[in-house]
Structure 1
């Protein structure tokens, strides 16, 4: 199983630009090693560290994050049970998994 950091670094290769069309945002992942994604002009870039002013921040433990992004954990269930904490644009967070092909991760 990949680490959360490995998985975040793989997200640009699994990015579906058509699904995220018109979206420009910064997504912060607060996992054991904080990282963030920049989504701009149909491209996705993963960066280490914390973003200055993300549109949304997701805080999870590493194993739960990997399960969420690979389709083993439902995002709403994770949120409702406290496994996922969201700060910022909740609607953006809900759309996040639709922008990445889970089959290309892992």
Structure 2
């Protein structure tokens, strides 16, 4: 299993349906140094897909280490965004909820 896939599978395991309350969203992750993945949230469930989604709600671009650091809590997502380590396109406010929906 690729390192990137392992990160997304761990996010799936940490998915908090209560935090995603009634959310309908697709988080697209374009990784600079790994395959692209997306997480689709519908009806309190989260599914993972490989590649590009047709219509993502928000697209986040970064390298794999940045994603790992943000999801592990070592790096604040907003700080990473301000430093230019994360680029976001689409519903930026949704991106700010990522660590609430997938808590450590």
Partner of 1:10: 10
Number of residue pairs aligned between Structure 1 and Structure 2: 101
Under a length normalisation based on structure 2, what TM-score does the superposition of the two structures give? 0.92
Q: Does structure 2 conserve the Cα–Cα contact (< 8 Å) formed by 1:79 and 1:85? A: yes
The Cα shift of 1:52 comes to 0.5
Matched, 1:56 2:58: yes
- Cα distance in 1 for partners of 2:19, 2:78 equals 20
**SS of structure 1 residue aligned to 2:27:** strand
The Cα shift of 1:84 comes to 0.2
Q: Does structure 2 conserve the Cα–Cα contact (< 8 Å) formed by 1:4 and 1:63? A: no
Pairwise CA RMSD of aligned residues? 1.2
Structure 2 unmatched runs, 5+: none
Of 78, 100, 103, the match for 1:101:
103
- Cα distance in 1 for partners of 2:84, 2:53 equals 23
Partner of 2:19: 19
**SS of structure 2 residue aligned to 1:63:** helix
